[in-house]
Amino acid sequence: MRRAGHVACTGERRGTYSGLVGKPEGNGLLGGPRHRWEDNIKTDLKEIDWDRVHWLDLAQERDKWRTVVNLAGGHDVQ
């Protein structure tokens, strides 16, 4: 999640952003849907009850994003 915050702040001008929010191509796991990195972030936010705020907006506010990452278990944030 920490890295996703950095990528979200770069915006659409970088290729990494499309990897974050873009639709995955190719085959996913047999019998299951393909997941985006963004889907995993949304799941993590739901687990800590922060899913009422759009995560891209939240990532733009560094202090709030750091709090959310820490709550989600990313305690390596400095």
The 3-state DSSP composition of the chain as helix, strand, coil percent (nearest 5) reads 60, 0, 40
Determine contact, residues 78/26, Cβ cutoff 8 Å: no
Amino acid 75: pLDDT: 43
pTM value is 0.60
Amino acid 34: pLDDT: 66
Determine contact, residues 8/20, Cβ cutoff 8 Å: yes
Amino acid 26: pLDDT: 62
Regions in the chain scoring below 70 on pLDDT: 12-34, 74-78
Amino acid 77: pLDDT: 40
- The whole-angstrom separation of Cα 20 and Cα 78 is 22
